[in-house]
Structure 1
Amino acid sequence: MKKLSLVVPVYYEEEVILQFLKETKIVLDSLPITYEYVFVDDGSKDKTVEIIKEQAQLDDRIKLVVFSYNHGKASAVSAAIAHATGDYLLYMDPDLQDPPIEIPRFLEEIEKGYDLVWGIRKEKKDSFINRLFSKIFWGTLNKFTGLNIPKGIAVMRMFNRDFADEFLKYNETNRFIEGIFIDISKHWTTIEIGQRERFAGTSKFNFKRKMQLAFDAIFDFSELPLKITVKFGMSLVVLGLLGIFILVVLKLFFIDFQAGWPSIIASIIIVFGLQLFFMGIISLYIGRIYKEVKRRPLYSIKDKTNL
């Protein structure tokens, strides 16, 4: 009998854990599989860990890894995959926006021989601003990185053991999970799933975190910012030389004018600002290289339950 591992990163989710377990167990108990939960707490200070530990005492299929402090969702997902033992792994959030009733459809699809099945949301249950931002966000990533990530992807996705083992070979510190998934998968598909309102609480994936994810994706999977820097620099040089040539021609043949110091100073300030901006882009790449070469662990574990 096949085994399914639910890999679930959690962060301040005390209001949803019990309902998540209740709804997923109803679905999982109806399927001809064995299963386990692998929760990874990413530094919550509420009762999230306490609630999961209480449930783990009642059911040894509930496993928990507790980080020493907040490492970020990408590290939490990586830790959950590393501790999962299933033939198939289902990555989902506990907020129940991606409904557990869709799990049988994922199983049906993965058993056709795919190594990865993405969930695609039929309709994003979110504010207009968030929907617009998501559309721009994923469109920009695909344009800048060339990853061709499916449009409208949900958190909910399923992959097989070989895929998980391959994922664990990726050791980079800067981790854009969706990009790594696309890089690994050789035979993936998508299924449309419904979406519900968040069961309780508020999303921790705020605008700041979304922007950080966008930067991580672009800088991890694209050299485009560096190429833009070079092209823009060359354009400035050409424009500068052209400007000097025009001024010389005007001075010699057409207009006898005095040097305009204010305009010169303004030009220097603009050029200096552009230099700092593009040096900053290069510095970001160097900083990421610095983090990678130190080879520090992705996360530090404070406690484990049923593992």
Structure 2
Amino acid sequence: MRKKISLAVPVYYEQEVILQFLKETKAVLDTLPVDYEYVFVDDGSKDQTVAILKEQAKTNPRIKMVVLSYNHGKAFAATAAFTYATGDYILYMDPDLQDPPHEIPRFFETIEQGFDLVWGIRKEKKDKFLNRLYSKVFWGTLNKYTGLEIPKGIAVMRMFTREFAQNLLQYKETNRFVEGLFMKVGMHYTTLEIDQRERFAGVSKFNFRRKMQLAFDAIFDFSELPLKFAVRLGFLFVILGILALAGLAIAKWFFIDFQAGWPSLVSVIVVGIGLQLFFLGIVSLYIGRIYKEAKNRPLFSVKEFVNINQHENV
């Protein structure tokens, strides 16, 4: 029996690249001894992305689409794609063609060896120096303080089994860092080096603000680093305060007769208040995330389905 591959593809303002993506992936998939489908999830695009995919879906039943009711964020769009994918294997990738479709046969050959997950690892990250530096610092810090041990240089492109997907979808938290969830599922995985290309067209929507949001999500969701930092910093300031008071007492009693002024007192009070607010802010962020989880809201809201049974795999 032929295996089936589902391409799980979140899309967001991709009108310039989507037809080329379909063309290149189809050319590769048609050479493999598999059935396949596309599961696109539109994450609130306002351009022609949805219209183009709807037009293509009219003549190609392999093209399926979930249109979300507003912009949820890539992690939630990816979760929706995994939810409605029906293949034996799921290939997660972006439509920008940076992770090239010609690598798909290698993923299929590797996962057929008995792995549950095959990570794509970029041989060389085609990006600006600051973005490469950010990635290096981010992943290094995350692995050090969370113990996730995410492979270095991972790409979006990865393939995993139906069983792996079912385990992944058991994680219902609304604070979703997808790569961390993949590592929590665990199972038997390997890596595959791939060549990265330049983006086919358009610009990346993953700007600095979104990168920082991802960093905060990852650190707050999978580590207690901020809380530990607050405790250590607070302890450090207590020690410094005790040493400063002891030094002033010794200086006044044995060396210098001086009168302490109110500016120094005000400065100490301001620093103390600032530290308290800082620590309270860290705690509040964790409490806010607990509050979001406690509401237990659905992970995504669907506006429309195209070529897909809305009850399938849910």
In the alignment, structure 2 segments of 5+ residues that lack a partner are 309-314
The aligned counterpart of 1:82 is 83
Q: Is 1:306 aligned with 2:307?
A: yes
Q: Please give the per-residue CA displacement for 1:53-104, whole angstroms capped at 9, x wherever unaligned.
A: 1111111111000011000000000000000000000000000000000000
The aligned counterpart of 1:121 is 122
How big is the shift at 1:111?
Answer: 0.9
Of residues 139-148 and 190-199 in structure 1, the stretch that sits farther from structure 2 once superposed is: 139-148
Q: Please give the per-residue CA displacement for 1:121-158, whole angstroms capped at 9, x wherever unaligned.
A: 11111122222221122112212222111111111000
Within 2, Cα distance between the matches of 1:227 and 1:202? 38
Percent identical pairs in the alignment equals 71
The aligned counterpart of 1:60 is 61
The aligned counterpart of 1:221 is 222
The aligned counterpart of 1:242 is 243
The aligned counterpart of 1:252 is 253
Q: What secondary structure, in the 3-state scheme, does the structure 2 residue paired with 1:287 have? A: helix
Within 2, Cα distance between the matches of 1:121 and 1:237? 46
How big is the shift at 1:247?
Answer: 2.0
How big is the shift at 1:275?
Answer: 1.4
The aligned counterpart of 2:168 is 167
Alignment-mate amino acid for residue 196 of structure 1:
R
Q: Is 1:212 aligned with 2:213?
A: yes
How big is the shift at 1:303?
Answer: 0.2
The aligned counterpart of 2:5 is 4
Q: Is 1:141 aligned with 2:137?
A: no
Within 2, Cα distance between the matches of 1:113 and 1:190? 13
Alignment-mate amino acid for residue 6 of structure 1:
L
The aligned counterpart of 1:183 is 184
Within 2, Cα distance between the matches of 1:143 and 1:19? 39
How big is the shift at 1:220?
Answer: 0.1
- Normalized against structure 1, the TM-score is what? 0.98
Within 1, Cα distance between the matches of 2:108 and 2:152? 21
Which runs of at least 4 in structure 1 moved beyond 6 Å after TM superposition? none
Within 2, Cα distance between the matches of 1:245 and 1:206? 49
Alignment-mate amino acid for residue 266 of structure 1:
S
Alignment-mate amino acid for residue 181 of structure 2:
I
How big is the shift at 1:250?
Answer: 2.3
Q: Is 1:130 aligned with 2:131?
A: yes
Of residues 274-283 and 163-172 in structure 1, the stretch that sits farther from structure 2 once superposed is: 274-283
Within 1, Cα distance between the matches of 2:200 and 2:186? 31
Within 2, Cα distance between the matches of 1:294 and 1:156? 32
The aligned counterpart of 2:37 is 36
The aligned counterpart of 2:312 is none
Aligned residues: 307
Alignment-mate amino acid for residue 28 of structure 1:
L
Within 1, Cα distance between the matches of 2:236 and 2:127? 42
Within 2, Cα distance between the matches of 1:175 and 1:108? 30
The aligned counterpart of 1:158 is 159
Q: What secondary structure, in the 3-state scheme, does the structure 1 residue paired with 2:163 have? A: helix
Q: Is 1:279 aligned with 2:280?
A: yes
Within 2, Cα distance between the matches of 1:78 and 1:173? 11
Within 2, Cα distance between the matches of 1:242 and 1:136? 35
| CA RMSD after TM alignment | 1.0
Q: Please give the per-residue CA displacement for 1:39-66, whole angstroms capped at 9, x wherever unaligned.
A: 0000000000000011111111110000
Alignment-mate amino acid for residue 121 of structure 1:
R
Q: What secondary structure, in the 3-state scheme, does the structure 1 residue paired with 2:46 have? A: coil
Q: What secondary structure, in the 3-state scheme, does the structure 2 residue paired with 1:204 have? A: coil
How big is the shift at 1:239?
Answer: 2.0
Within 2, Cα distance between the matches of 1:67 and 1:187? 32
The aligned counterpart of 1:95 is 96
Q: What secondary structure, in the 3-state scheme, does the structure 2 residue paired with 1:36 have? A: strand
Alignment-mate amino acid for residue 13 of structure 1:
E
In the alignment, structure 1 segments of 5+ residues that lack a partner are none
- Normalized against structure 2, the TM-score is what? 0.96
Within 2, Cα distance between the matches of 1:114 and 1:147? 19
